[in-house]
Amino acid sequence: MTNMLQSRWWSWGFRSTVMLYFIILIVCPIAGIYVQSLSGGFQAFADNVTEALAWKSVILTVKLAVISTIINAAVGTLAAWVLVRYRFPGRSLLNSLVDLPFALPTAVIGLMILLLLGPRSWIGSGAEALGTTILFHEPAIVVAMIFVTFPFVIRAVQPMLEELDASEEEAAYTMGASKSRTFFRVILPCMMPGIVSGAMLAFSRALAEFGAVVLVAGNIPGRTLVASVYIFGEIESDNPAGAAAVSVLLLTLSLLILWTVNFVRRRRAR
Amino acid sequence: MTIRRFWIGLTTLIFAVLLIVPLLRIVQGAFDDGWSGFSAGISRPEAQHALLMTGIIAVCVTVVNTVFGVMLSLYLVRANWLGKRLKAVMNAIVDLPFAVSPVIGGLMIVLLLGPDSAVGAMLGRAGVDIVYALPGMILATLFVTFPIVIREVMPVLQEVGSQQEEAAHMMGAYAWTTFWRVTWPLIRWSVVYGVILTVARCLGEFGAVLVVSGNIINKTQTATTLVYQDVENFDLTAANSVALVLAAASVLLLLVMEWSKSRKEVH
């Protein structure tokens, strides 16, 4: 009897500890930031968000994230296709390398791009000879975003291609469809859910990226200042309300994307 | 055939330019001034201290999040004391830290526990500093890495089902014995994989830690924030030296990750 009672106490203790940890660590901070941003009333929140520099940084972030996502969707689909369909020496090495951007610290990624595109490198001096600069301008931010979000589309498309039934493709060929027609009518629709969900995850990560971008962006307010760096600047200059307002905007956007991806995946699983 | 060659060549080229060249550039950058430049960059007292801080944070965070992650996954998949609705909601909330920009994660902790907040002021009077000190940095990293273990373990638990555990329970095994003898062998490699991912994320965490730590040299500076400061000070060789240590650790973890992935697929 005492034994049973003891074990019940134990399991009750475990349960409440885990639930408390979950609530304090995850739920409280996120609720806190929403409360903080709206604590001055909705008008103050709207003022903080529509403040010229804040709004420009959000628009810039969305624009550059869209560009990098489109590039990654194209490159990622190609890479996934090659990695799944072709057998060639070095394939497994390339496949392992895909995860590299997830494993590397973002500050290290920023430093790499800084060195590669800097004025002393051949890419930087080449661009200078052409009359443009990459580093501390928009292209450098896009490169940083592409690097950081590189694995998402590949990792989302690969399983779809592996699942694809070879007989469907063969049937299309047998019925006289050309290679390109088979690709666009049979294979691409099959990859589409993977491309879309991978691209959405990549987009939300690109919106949130800080470490890689802060080192290469130059952070000129209104021109190369992205939202996450803007938030950091507001914290540093002791304006938590402004930081919280832009955070809530970014956060809500990311949450919507994340939940849409989960919803789509769950429906597919059914 | 030629088209095939073209695609393979193009993909290899993209990987080389995008992933391998930047990595090699860090190695080259670290040794710009020869071996002495690299060793000077690493043996600076602030670099030693920063690497130590990163190590402490990685160990604490990995241990705590592995224990809580495995337990929460078990509850979310198996427990019947949680309603179905509540489980679905919690399941969606678990992913939140992935959606939150690290800077925002840090801001949340500053807002809740900083010197201006009610809790922070109370703790400050009691002599406990959270923000701009180690506890805050650990909290921030805990928040950021929270979903990783859960996302690795939960699918495996769902896949294997609860029959074996129920059988063990019916035959009179204690909950503890059931866990170690039946559940643990099933989820072992997923936990290992989750742990490696967590360590990698801890070593690399930057945004959240930068906001919470205040980046004070020899006090709250971590390896990544030191790299950031070195770059801001235009001391690129020193930045490269520390970055090379971090990058080497990441590549090593990537290799272990590949190994544990192959083990995970075996069972």
Sign of CA dihedral B23, B26, B31, B35: negative
Contact B103 A146 (CB under 8 A): no
Contact B247 A108 (CB under 8 A): yes
- Closest by Cβ to A30, choosing from B96, B106, B228: B96
Top pLDDT among B92 and A253 is at A253
Mean pLDDT score, A70-74: 95
- Closest by Cβ to A107, choosing from B20, B23, B206: B206
Q: Which two tokens stand for residue B187?
A: 């989820």
Contacts of A28 in chain B (CB under 8 A): 112
Contact A251 B99 (CB under 8 A): yes
- Measured between alpha carbons, how far is A120 from B194 in angstroms, rounded to an integer? 40
Would residue B151 be called left, alpha or beta, if left means φ above 0 and alpha means ψ between -120 and 50 degrees?
Answer: alpha
pLDDT of residue A1: 45
A40-76 burial, b for 16+ CB within 10 Å, e for fewer? Answer: eeeeebeebbebeebbbbbebbbebbbbbbebbbebb
Sign of CA dihedral B223, B225, B226, B228: positive
pLDDT of residue B180: 84
Measure CA B130 to chain center.
20
Mean pLDDT score, B118-123: 84
Which residue carries 């406990």 as its tokens? B128
- The three-state secondary structure class of A219 is coil
Exposure on the CB side of residue B26, measured as CA atoms within 13 A: 25
Contact B228 A215 (CB under 8 A): yes
Mean pLDDT score, B202-229: 92
Minimum CA–CA partner of A96 in chain B: B258
Contact A251 B101 (CB under 8 A): yes
Domain residue ranges of chain B, discontinuous segments joined by +: 45-266
- Measured between alpha carbons, how far is A134 from A216 in angstroms, rounded to an integer? 9
Which residue carries 């000129």 as its tokens? A220
Contacts of B75 in chain A (CB under 8 A): 15, 18
- Measured between alpha carbons, how far is B102 from A219 in angstroms, rounded to an integer? 18
Mean pLDDT score, A79-100: 89
- What pLDDT, in 10s, does the model give residues A144-185? 999 999 999 999 999 888 888 777 778 887 887 787 888 888
The one-letter amino acid code at A135 reads: L
Minimum CA–CA partner of B69 in chain A: A18
- Measured between alpha carbons, how far is B16 from B18 in angstroms, rounded to an integer? 6
- Closest by Cβ to A258, choosing from B4, B75, B99: B99
Contact B104 A250 (CB under 8 A): yes
Top pLDDT among A136 and A4 is at A136
Decide if A226 contacts A127 (C-beta within 8 A): no
- Measured between alpha carbons, how far is A51 from A231 in angstroms, rounded to an integer? 13
Decide if B97 contacts B144 (C-beta within 8 A): yes
Contact B175 A7 (CB under 8 A): yes
Say whether residue B231 is in contact with chain A using an 8 A CB cutoff.
yes
Give contacts of B 246-265 with A, CB under 8 A. 246-247, 250-251, 253-255, 257-258
Decide if A216 contacts B231 (C-beta within 8 A): no
Please, which pLDDT band fits residue A3 given cuts at 50, 70 and 90? Answer: low
Contacts of B116 in chain A (CB under 8 A): 240
For the cut 90, the answer to whether the pLDDT of residue B163 exceeds it is no
Please, which pLDDT band fits residue A2 given cuts at 50, 70 and 90? Answer: low
Q: Which CATH superfamily is domain B45-266 in?
A: MetI-like (1.10.3720.10)
| Burial tier of A29 (Cβ tally within 10 Å: 0-12, 13-18, 19+) | buried
- The three-state secondary structure class of A10 is helix
Contact A111 B254 (CB under 8 A): no
Least confident span in A106-115, B125-134, B141-150: B125-134
What distance in Å separates residue A174's CA from the closest CA in chain B? 20
- In order of start, what are the domains of chain A with their CATH numbers? 41-269 (1.10.3720.10)
- Closest by Cβ to A18, choosing from B7, B68, B243: B68
Which residue carries 């832009």 as its tokens? A246
In a mutagenesis test of the A interface, which of B10, B74, B103, B236 is the best target, namely the one with the most A β-carbons within 10 Å?
B103
What distance in Å separates residue B46's CA from the closest CA in chain A? 17
Contacts of B23 in chain A (CB under 8 A): 100, 112
- What pLDDT, in 10s, does the model give residues A100-134? 998 899 999 999 999 888 877 778 778 777 877 77
Comparing C-alpha atoms, which of B77, B62, B72, B69 is closest to residue B156? B77
Please, which pLDDT band fits residue B28 given cuts at 50, 70 and 90? Answer: confident
Contacts of B19 in chain A (CB under 8 A): 97, 100-101, 150
What distance in Å separates residue B213's CA from the closest CA in chain A? 12
- Measured between alpha carbons, how far is A179 from A197 in angstroms, rounded to an integer? 26
- What pLDDT, in 10s, does the model give residues A13-62? 888 899 999 998 888 888 888 888 888 788 888 888 888 889 999 999 99
Contact A106 B204 (CB under 8 A): yes
Say whether residue B70 is in contact with chain A using an 8 A CB cutoff.
no
Say whether residue B121 is in contact with chain A using an 8 A CB cutoff.
no
Minimum CA–CA partner of B202 in chain A: A105
Say whether residue B236 is in contact with chain A using an 8 A CB cutoff.
yes
- What pLDDT, in 10s, does the model give residues B81-119? 888 888 888 888 888 888 889 999 999 998 888 887 888
Contacts of B72 in chain A (CB under 8 A): 18, 22
The one-letter amino acid code at A72 reads: N
Q: Where is A224: in which H helix or E strand?
A: none
Contact A29 B105 (CB under 8 A): yes
Say whether residue B96 is in contact with chain A using an 8 A CB cutoff.
yes
- Whole-number mean pLDDT of chain A? 87
| Burial tier of A148 (Cβ tally within 10 Å: 0-12, 13-18, 19+) | buried
- Measured between alpha carbons, how far is B55 from A81 in angstroms, rounded to an integer? 39
